[in-house]
Chain A
Amino acid sequence: ETGVTQSPTHLIKTRGQQVTLRCSSQSGHNTVSWYQQALGQGPQFIFQYYREEENGRGNFPPRFSGLQFPNYSSELNVNALELDDSALYLCASSPGAGRNTEAFFGQGTRLTVV
């Protein structure tokens, strides 16, 4: 139990739709990172938010966007869904944004795009 909660746990969307995934970070953590994990692959970094500002982004198109709120919870938004967006989306919270800071992961949201 990491104290990081994600919702919903499962979601089915149609190609072209938009989706919002949510993450509540662990108490006292001000940094949230989002990862996409395709079947059989390791998690791939999407972006990180530190104190409500984007603090790094991986190789994902602009239709992947995010938000962090004053309570440090976070949202991941994906527009114009494509079939390849089907994946497990993971949120990780950290007590800071430094290079050697431990991250605690939620259980993920399984997104299926049909």
Chain B
Amino acid sequence: DAKTTQPPSMDCAEGRAANLPCNHSTISGNEYVYWYRQIHSQGPQYIIHGLKNNETNEMASLIITEDRKSSTLILPHATLRDTAVYYCVRPGNQFYFGTGTSLTVIP
């Protein structure tokens, strides 16, 4: 079961941190968690991935719980251009996308 669970939608004020949660309770020990986002039906854009340590890059931070059953993507200072659908994805032999979280950044 490669399912991930995300809230269907979230709002965030511009300039504030956006925290997007994901549950992946059946993840295996050597399986990474990937995050992608998709802006208005363009191709999904890679954001970040991690295994068990917290990760940070120029786009976002990824916090993975110690039991690895859930993670949170953090956009530290959300801008209007961050409005998109965010997918938490388990790779498997393919990428399993759910329906994602539609994040709206409000001015």
Query: Chain A residue with minimal CB distance to B6?
Result: A42
B13 to chain A, nearest CB (A): 26
Chain A residues, Cβ within 8 Å of B92: 99
Query: Chain B residue with minimal CB distance to A90?
Result: B43
Query: Chain B residue with minimal CB distance to A46?
Result: B94
Are B99 and A41 touching (Cβ within 8 A)? Answer: yes
Are A100 and B44 touching (Cβ within 8 A)? Answer: no
A104 to chain B, nearest CB (A): 6
Are B97 and A43 touching (Cβ within 8 A)? Answer: yes
- Size bracket, chain A contacts: 20 to 34
Chain A residues, Cβ within 8 Å of B87: 42
Given contacts A99-B31, A100-B32, A102-B34, contact A43 B42 (CB under 8 A): no
Tally of B interface residues using CB under 8 Å = 24
What mask results when residues 44 to 56 of chain A are scored 1 for a CB within 8 Å of chain B, else 0?
Answer: 1100100000011
Are A107 and B43 touching (Cβ within 8 A)? Answer: yes
Given contacts A88-B41, A108-B42, contact A44 B97 (CB under 8 A): yes
A112 to chain B, nearest CB (A): 13
Are A90 and B94 touching (Cβ within 8 A)? Answer: no
What mask results when residues 20 to 56 of chain B are scored 1 for a CB within 8 Å of chain A, else 0?
Answer: 0000000000111010100001111110010100000
Contact partner of B41 among A48, A92, A106, A108, CB < 8 A?
A: A108
Chain B residues within CB distance 8 Å of chain A: 30-32, 34, 36, 41-46, 49, 51, 87, 91-100
Chain A residues within CB distance 8 Å of chain B: 2, 4, 33, 35, 37, 40-45, 48, 55-56, 58, 88, 90, 92, 97, 99-108, 110
Told that A100-B31, A101-B91 touch, could you supply 11 new A-B pairs with CB distance under 8 A?
A: A2-B45, A35-B97, A40-B99, A42-B100, A48-B93, A48-B94, A56-B93, A100-B49, A102-B49, A107-B42, A107-B43
